[in-house]
Amino acid sequence: MGDALKIDLHVHTRRSGHSLLKVEKVASIAKRRGLDAVAITDHDEIDSALELSKLFPTVVGEEISCDEGDIIGLFLTERIGRGPVLEVMDRIRAQGGLVMVPHPFDSLRKEALMNEELCAKGDLIEIFNSRVTKARDNARAAEFAKARGMLPVVGSDAHTAAEIGRSWIEVSSCAGPDLFIKSLPAGRMHTSKSPFYVHLQTKLLKLTEAFH
């Protein structure tokens, strides 16, 4: 593939909530783990992504809380904000961004987009998410992507330092949405499940936030 780039397409920071990761920490760990870029996909925020882009190659993303379930916008220039999923998809594409469907069909995650027809309207679909607990849910996403002819991607969904780079995709370019899309069919994927304790860490952080 020539000068291939390893990118984790699904990383969160402290601005997401339920995470303590600062952008400087993300940059240092990503470098240490051999990543060439990350997509910061904080919940309903892009501030950390913009901040990290000054320190490390970054795809500016946002995991958006839609009425029907979460979707991710990649290659954004402005914050999208919540709303109905089809309207949010339109807003992402109006910026020239790509619509990624994260952790579809995750039966243990209430934020997962479960509607197949809505999932099929994305540009990319996450066929392996390191935080998905049940292997069959990731498998269903992979089967769905193949059946619908959607471009598959993977991501760590990192909320803690230990998770960054658990899953990554190797592409020839992430310099922009068009080059990224063109490089995906030849991309190589690495997947690794996160340890179960990361879910406990997230629950503890949620409890801490609830008492503040």
Query: Could you read off the pLDDT of 115-145 as tens digits, one per residue?
Result: 999 999 999 999 999 999 999 999 999 999 9
Mean pLDDT of the chain, nearest integer: 93
Range of the domain at 55: 5-210
Average pLDDT in the 19-44 region? 96
**Contact of 153 with 127, CB cutoff 8 Å:** yes
In this prediction, residue 3 carries a pLDDT of 78
Residue 77: exposed, middle, or buried by beta-carbon count in 10 A (0-12, 13-18, 19+)? exposed
In this prediction, residue 198 carries a pLDDT of 66
In this prediction, residue 202 carries a pLDDT of 65
**Contact of 64 with 88, CB cutoff 8 Å:** yes
Beta-bridge mates of residue 72: 63, 100
Integer angstrom CA distances of residue 98 from 60, 90, 207: 11, 10, 33
**Contact of 38 with 58, CB cutoff 8 Å:** yes
Beta-bridge mates of residue 38: 8, 58
Q: How far apart are CA 134 and CA 111, in angstroms?
A: 15
Average pLDDT in the 62-80 region? 98
Amino acid symbol at 63: E
Q: How far apart are CA 157 and CA 11, in angstroms?
A: 5
Beta-bridge mates of residue 37: 7
Could you tell me the CATH number of the domain that includes residue 113? 3.20.20.140
Which two three-digit tokens encode residue 187?
């991309």
pLDDT > 70? residue 172: yes
Q: How far apart are the first and last CA of the chain?
A: 49
Number of domains in the chain: 1
Asked whether the whole model's pTM tops 0.85, one would answer yes
pLDDT > 80? residue 18: no
When pLDDT is cut at 50, 70 and 90, the band that residue 1 belongs to is very low
Q: What's the DSSP call for residue 169?
A: E
**Contact of 194 with 35, CB cutoff 8 Å:** no
pLDDT > 60? residue 68: yes
Q: Which helix (H) or strand (E) holds 25?
A: helix 23-32
DSSP string, 92-110: HHHTT-EEEE-STT-TT-T
Average pLDDT in the 166-188 region? 96
In this prediction, residue 176 carries a pLDDT of 97
Q: What's the DSSP call for residue 66?
A: B
In this prediction, residue 199 carries a pLDDT of 57
